[in-house]
């Protein structure tokens, strides 16, 4: 299979070829290797591939629904026996001891993990520029970054290396790289994806694993495969009444849509970003939806203070545990300045501070829930800015403290991180473009558990905007 042929299909399309024996898993693996060779020197999105996994790709279809399709996972522990270094010198050489439940489901549905992609260190910075593996560059403009933390996954999908790749989202880490790279990034509802076996509530319920894709039908099929609670999970929500793959075939009735371009943090929106969101609002009206300008009203400063506590406490606990396991010191040689600042702040906190922060999140979750009971969908920018130049927020520059770390996050996570706190489903769709040809992500948020509503609306917008027709300058089909 030629790369031009391979890149013409999304994951569901490739799975159909596999099922019909028109292509083999081994052939797809070779396409991925060729794609990596073609574009990864420019992008630095893929850290490594696994020779044994590639050798194990067969010539016959694997289990449904993906029938042996190879893909890539983020540099976090997810599959037993594979490296998971968190993009950090501290964790260099760390090998995952247990399969994570999400990946067990993916593998049982015919996906094969054949390599790993770059991440920001421990997923904290919204810039995939680690000391361990260097900066990942944007396929749309290699002088620019990919946000973070699932930046390698976003770049690999945008450049055509794979139709989808695994990531995780604790504050926007799927959605903001998706926005910067012009792909689809869903953060499912809390509890939709199990955190087993490591955690009932990763990052105190803020973080969740899922996939970055190029198509809504891939997102739906992957959510069908990966969702569902396991015994012992802290969160269990009702399953959808029909499969997501089936749901996207039926457009929603007219929706009550709230459009918000007011920056909750006060960080100014790029004019092109605001214009793109407003244009989407106009298009939604033309499609028959009722659109009003509105957004949830909450105390952002209290929310931000609580977020700092929860992130820092979680970071301190997890890094202390990992450093103890590896018998390595936590210092400036093992961590970037950004991570170290968050860790040090976490070590100053007491239990009462954490409980108070969680109480703030509870109150804001109720506020957002009440807002989304009146409005079916909230539309915002995914990020306040378009893709920034590499090094703009270098995570290892000196003088970091908890406040400057979160100031760095504001341009990219002003609109995204709130919904990790509330557990609401949120998706970034590539619906805008700057005059320089850079992608702009628009975020859609629904009430808790209504992932199906976002996918239904996303399917309509995908047909309308046809984002799959755009390919970045650095793409596997554009190599000599």
259-306 pLDDT, tens per residue?
999 999 999 999 999 999 999 999 999 999 999 999 999 999 999 999
Structure tokens at 13: 């399309």
CA dihedral 341, 342, 348, 354 (to 10 degrees): 160
Known active-site residue 108: no
Instruction: Provide the mean pLDDT of the chain.
Output: 98
More reliable by pLDDT, 200 or 233: 233
- For the chain, give the percent of residues with pLDDT over 90: 96
Q: What is the pLDDT of residue 215?
A: 99
Instruction: Calculate mean pLDDT across residues 68-86.
Output: 98
Whether 148 and 366 have beta carbons less than 8 Å apart is answered as no
* Residue 10: pLDDT band with limits 50, 70, 90: very high
C-beta separation of 64 from 308 below 8 A: no
Which residues neighbour 49 within 8 Å (Cβ) at sequence distance 6 or greater? 32, 33, 36, 114, 115
* Residue 260, C-beta contacts closer than 8 angstroms, at least 6 positions apart: 293, 294, 295, 378, 379, 380
At 353, list the tokens: 């501070």
Per-residue pLDDT, averaged over 165-181, amounts to 99
In this structure, are residues 78 and 207 in contact, taking their beta carbons and an 8 Å threshold?
no
CA distances, 450 to each of 91, 187, 226, 236, 435 (Å): 37, 12, 16, 14, 34
Strand 377-381 relative to strand 256-259, pairing: parallel
Annotated catalytic residue, options 120, 131, 149, 416: 149
Question: pLDDT digit string (tens) for 189-227?
Answer: 999 999 999 887 789 999 999 999 999 999 999 999 999
Question: Which CATH code for domain 3-478?
Answer: 3.90.1300.10
pTM for this predicted structure: 0.98
From the candidates 173, 227, 265, 424, give the one annotated as an active-site residue.
Answer: 173
Q: Is the pLDDT reported for residue 134 higher than 90?
A: yes
Q: List, in order, residues 6 or more apart from 157 with CB less than 8 Å away.
A: 163, 164, 165, 181, 183, 212, 213, 214
Q: Which 3-state string (H, E, C) describes 294-337?
A: CCCCCCHHHHHHHHHHHHHHHHHHHHHHHHHHHCCCCCCCCCCH
What pLDDT was estimated at residue 365?
98
Q: Are 214 and 468 in contact (CB under 8 A)?
A: yes
- Residue-level pLDDT at 21: 98
Residue 234: predicted pLDDT: 83
Share of the chain above pLDDT 70, in %: 100
Q: What is the pLDDT of residue 12?
A: 99
Question: What angle in degrees, to the nearest 10, is found between the helix axes of 402-413 and 337-347?
Answer: 120
pLDDT above 60 for 480: no
149 catalytic? Reply is yes
150 is annotated as an active-site residue: no
Distances (CA, A) of 443 to 14, 52, 176, 440, 452: 27, 39, 9, 10, 15
């Amino acid at each position: 299979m030629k790369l031009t042929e391979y890149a013409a299909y999304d994951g569901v399309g490739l799975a159909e070829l596999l099922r019909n024996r028109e292509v083999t898993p081994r052939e797809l693996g070779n396409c991925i290797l060729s794609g990596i060779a073609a574009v990864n020197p420019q992008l630095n999105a893929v850290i490594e591939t696994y020779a044994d996994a590639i050798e194990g790709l067969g010539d016959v279809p694997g289990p449904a629904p993906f029938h042996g399709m190879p893909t890539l996972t983020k540099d976090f522990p997810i599959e037993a026996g594979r490296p998971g270094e968190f993009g950090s010198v501290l964790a260099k050489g760390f090998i995952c001891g247990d399969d994570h439940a999400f990946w067990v489901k993916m593998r049982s549905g015919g996906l094969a993990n054949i390599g790993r992609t770059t991440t920001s260190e421990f997923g904290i910075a919204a810039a995939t520029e680690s000391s361990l593996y260097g900066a990942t560059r944007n396929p749309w403009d290699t002088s620019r970054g990919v946000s973070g933390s699932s930046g390698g996954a976003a770049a690999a999908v945008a450049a055509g290396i794979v139709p989808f790749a695994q990531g995780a989202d604790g504050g926007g880490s799927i959605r903001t790289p998706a926005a910067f790279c012009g792909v689809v990034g869903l953060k499912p509802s809390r509890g939709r994806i199990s955190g087993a076996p490591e955690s009932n509530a990763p990052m105190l319920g803020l973080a969740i694993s899922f996939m970055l894709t190029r198509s809504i039908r891939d997102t739906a099929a992957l959510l069908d495969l990966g969702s569902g609670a396991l015994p012992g999970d802290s969160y269990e929500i009702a399953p959808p009444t029909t499969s997501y793959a089936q749901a996207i075939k039926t457009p929603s009735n007219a929706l009550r849509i709230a459009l918000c371009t007011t920056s909750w943090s006060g960080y100014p929106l790029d004019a092109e970003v605001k214009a793109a969101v407003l244009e989407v609002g106009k298009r939604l009206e033309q499609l028959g939806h009722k659109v009003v300008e509105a957004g949830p009203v909450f105390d952002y400063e209290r929310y931000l203070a609580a977020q700092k506590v929860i992130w820092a406490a979680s970071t301190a606990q997890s890094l202390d545990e990992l450093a103890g396991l590896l018998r390595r010191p936590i210092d400036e040689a093992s961590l970037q300045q950004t991570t170290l600042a968050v860790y040090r702040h976490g070590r100053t906190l007491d239990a009462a501070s954490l409980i108070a922060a969680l109480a703030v999140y509870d109150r804001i979750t109720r506020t957002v829930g009440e807002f989304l009971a009146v409005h079916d969908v909230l539309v915002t920018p995914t990020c306040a800015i378009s893709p920034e130049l590499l090094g703009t927020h270098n995570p290892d520059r000196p003088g970091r403290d908890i406040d400057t770390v979160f100031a760095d996050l504001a341009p990219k996570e002003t609109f995204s991180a709130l919904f990790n706190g509330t557990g609401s489903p949120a998706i970034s769709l590539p619906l805008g473009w700057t005059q320089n040809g850079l992608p702009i992500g628009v975020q859609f948020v629904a009430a808790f558990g209504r992932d199906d509503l976002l996918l239904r609306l996303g399917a309509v917008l995908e047909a309308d905007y046809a984002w799959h027709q755009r390919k970045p300058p650095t793409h596997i089909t554009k190599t000599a």
